[in-house]
Amino acid sequence: MDVYGQERTMSQENGSTVRVAVRAVGAVTALGDDADALWTGARSGRVGIRPVQRVDLTGVRTKLGGEVDAPLESPHHFPQPGGYRDRVVELALRAADEAVAAAGPAIRRAGADRCGVVYGTCNAGLLSGREWLAAVDRGERPAPALAPMSTPQAAAEALAGAFGFGGPVVSVNTACASGANAIGWAADLIRSGQADLVLAGGADALSDVLFAGFHSLEALSAEPARPYSQGRSGLSLGEGAAFLVLVREDLADQDDVLAWLGGYGLSGDGYHPTAPRPDGSGAAQAMATALRTAGVAAAEVGYVNGHGTGTDKNDPAETLAIRTALGPAAADVLVSSTKSVIGHLLGAAGAAEAVVTVRALEQQTAPPTASYLGPDPACDLDYVPLDARPLDTRVAMSNNFAFGGSNASLVLLRSDDERRPPVPTLDDVVVTGQALLGPFGDSVAAALAALDAGIPIPADPQGRAATMTVDPEPYLSRKARRRMDRMTVTAVVTAAKALAEAGYEDATERAGIGVILGTSAGPVESMARFTRGVLADGASGADPAVFPSTVYNQAAGQVAQQLGLYGPTSTVSAGHASGAAALAYGYELVRTGRADTIVCLAVDLIDDLVVRAYRDLGVLSLTPGDRRFAITDTSVAIILERRETARRRGRRPLAELAGYGSASRVRAGGVSWDLDGDASARAITQALRDAGTAPADITRLWPAAAGLEPADRGERAGLGRVFGGELPALRTPKVILGEPVGPGGALSAALAVAELAGDPSGGAALVHATSLGGTAMSLVFRPCPGDNQEGV
């Protein structure tokens, strides 16, 4: 067997049981400028929620928040368009600096190109976006690079550039579950052999837009939050950042291990845009998966760092979730909420609370729930009120539940615990259905016909851009779509079409299906609409009907709710490689049995603001062939399924997703493409190894090329390194159909799968995507001739 097959076997057979160590932590919160300050403050119940100084809270119900007052000067060179320093990047760098410095020996052993970043955030670069939008609306010309700083991937790549990491760089955008989800995905990247060390965590910053949003929902407490307590009246917002350095076990000396990441679980409530399932069943499912993947019994859990927001609906639902997941053992478990001392850090919450959980295991101390007044009949667990308590446990959990119904739970093990995670039952991952919507039509066949016709998007002096109109009938009623933005409607329709093609008509069959959404720009329409209201009229201009749709994962949540999909859910971003990232994450979850089936979605839609942003950057084409790219609306849904599940359902696979690879080469201080093709070459090589495929086996190549010559030139150099002078047959759909922004890799994947299904005796296909910021991702698809001939 060749080296590709050998490495794949090693990864699949041994990598899945590799233990993942927590080697270092870092944090900056309202309790201080490092992880020790966070832990000592949490342990003592010292409340860092106090009057906010930096944000104008005129008209907001509360004047309090968990504001960071530590200085944030950074020695790192990071993007500062027009001199604007985005606070969320500064927070992220401050916390990451601490973690990376402590993990120095492990980083050196791993090598920078085997170190990655998984960054969780709820609001991404909201402050940069606000600054850019306000300037545009004033008729000014803001710094062009300010707009891309509003995306989640910008901060992720700023971190990679600051530390010189060259492994996978991705971001997770599941609102308040982002930090925990990022930590879980990072562990997957290590166990699957994509990276040896990953900086994982999250950051979010306070802003007037954020306060106005929660004020409009009447969710804010006028006093420091009192999670689980009688008399609680809402949540307290906070800001900050926290990171864990996760490392493959053989790269960490036992004496340096702070804890082990045992397992994690994801689920989707599919219930409501902002509220949890009242019975806590969705959250309980995530907790149960975390326990199962860690090989831990419910009775072994001694401490739960709860989501504990202090709202009327969240705290009772979580209480029921803990009781459901832990059963009789819930009566003895200690539960506390770190949000009672630092506020709700949104996308950073799961990471900060994981840091506290690691310290709780280290010091065998359960930190208290501060500001607790007394028991509430609906919250009847032991919440460690007011004072810390001793622990005697090897196992702790950390829970985070979010807008859009995204749930994430982590299981952490004490450093002297020797158990290994159970070996998952691996299976091939096949495609059983797909849907593709764009200006070319509402099917994959229509896109292929448009590609073959070769007619590009016409010239336009304002920029070549193509949009589409989506018919929501019969997939959404008027009532259901009344408060949905265009992105959400499009996502639901696309997912429904793909599920129908895959034969998932029965609601009971769909219940366990997961949803992974990839997007670069996110819900631009809702974000702009909501922010403009606040910019014009302050808190009174905040529209509570729009605010829930400003989170990146709301579209995925609505897909789950409308179509009855309650399996693992996440929303991810990797710039223009977001669609490929969604497929890669879905592949990991399906291959290892966390889900039998997942809908991998990729959606980005074009409006005047998106056109303005790309035009100002100088990358938007005005006429065909001018060495820039056109942009286009695109929505893709690809159904990934375990081969055994497809066989049991009697479905013929269209193709097999055989493996993937990801790498990066980010230049510190600015958003730029992979100039010399180094990241592309390493991502492609990793994908081939993961798939057990040699370069000569690839007969169809779908590159990221869209017409932007500097980026395309770098990609060509990377392809040349892998394939030599003779490339496989090239298909460049984005040159004709336009650059779909985030969904580009998913667009190429759908077209590649269609061609493989039509020619099952042909060779394999490689799909390549790049972020434009230095991140590259590759996917290998193979035909399924045996399945097609035998009818499964």
The 10s digit of each residue's pLDDT in 52-82 is 999 999 999 999 999 999 999 888 989 999 9
- The rounded distance, in Å, linking the Cα atoms of 25 and 17 is 23
Q: Tell me, what's the pLDDT at 3?
A: 36
pLDDT-derived band at 671, boundaries 50, 70, 90: low
- The rounded distance, in Å, linking the Cα atoms of 349 and 217 is 20
Residue 786: is its pLDDT beyond 80? no
- The rounded distance, in Å, linking the Cα atoms of 379 and 375 is 7
Provide the 3-class DSSP secondary structure of residue 639: strand
DSSP state of 449: H
Q: Cis ω on the peptide bond leading into residue 276 (within 30° of 0)?
A: no
The 10s digit of each residue's pLDDT in 538-592 is 999 999 999 999 999 999 999 999 999 999 999 999 999 999 999 999 999 999 9
pLDDT-derived band at 14, boundaries 50, 70, 90: very low
The 10s digit of each residue's pLDDT in 376-401 is 999 999 999 999 999 999 999 999 99
DSSP state of 763: -
- Give the active site residue among 115, 122, 344, 768: 344
Residue 792: is its pLDDT beyond 50? no
Instruction: Please state, in angstroms and as integers, the Cα–Cα distance from residue 174 to each residue in 120, 249, 515, 549, 775, following that order.
Output: 8, 28, 12, 12, 21
Q: For the chain, give the mean pLDDT.
A: 95
Name the residue with tokens 């309650």.
566
- 576: annotated active-site residue: no
476 Cβ contact list (under 8 Å, min separation 6) = 484, 489, 492, 493, 562
Instruction: Please state, in angstroms and as integers, the Cα–Cα distance from residue 731 to each residue in 451, 673, 693, 709, 751, following that order.
Output: 9, 21, 20, 17, 10
**Buried-state track 439-471, b at ≥16 Cβ within 10 A, e below 16:** bbebbbeebbebbeeeebbeeeeebbbbebebe
Residue 382's φ and ψ, nearest 5 degrees, are -90, 105
Closest CA to 92 of 338, 347, 307, 398: 347
CATH number attached to the domain at 429-790: 3.40.47.10
Considering the chain, what percentage of its residues have pLDDT values greater than 70? Answer: 97
The 10s digit of each residue's pLDDT in 186-242 is 999 999 999 999 999 999 999 999 999 999 999 999 999 999 999 999 999 999 999
Contact criterion met (CB below 8 Å) for 676 and 715? no
Which stretch of DSSP H or E encloses residue 393? Answer: none
Looking at the chain, the domain(s) classified CATH 3.40.47.10 span 3-414, 429-790
- Give the active site residue among 122, 176, 600, 784: 176
Closest CA to 756 of 722, 720, 724, 731: 731
- 272: annotated active-site residue: no
Q: Tell me, what's the pLDDT at 2?
A: 35
CATH number attached to the domain at 3-414: 3.40.47.10
The 10s digit of each residue's pLDDT in 404-423 is 999 999 999 999 999 999 99
Residue 705: is its pLDDT beyond 60? yes
- The rounded distance, in Å, linking the Cα atoms of 779 and 149 is 27
Tokens of 110: 């791993």
Q: Tell me, what's the pLDDT at 68?
A: 99
Q: Tell me, what's the pLDDT at 8?
A: 38
Residue 667: is its pLDDT beyond 90? no
Question: Exposed, middle or buried: residue 651 (CB in 10 Å: 0-12, 13-18, 19+)?
Answer: buried
Strands 429-437 and 655-664: antiparallel
Count of Cβ atoms closer than 10 Å to residue 37 Cβ: 18
Contact criterion met (CB below 8 Å) for 504 and 640? no
Contact criterion met (CB below 8 Å) for 183 and 201? yes
Name the residue with tokens 């080697």.
23
Count of Cβ atoms closer than 10 Å to residue 600 Cβ: 33
- 176: annotated active-site residue: yes
Is pTM, for the whole model, over 0.95? yes
Task: Provide mean pLDDT across the span 686-701.
Answer: 97
Q: Tell me, what's the pLDDT at 670?
A: 63
- Give the active site residue among 215, 307, 576, 768: 307
The 10s digit of each residue's pLDDT in 289-340 is 999 999 999 999 999 999 999 999 999 999 999 999 999 999 999 999 999 9
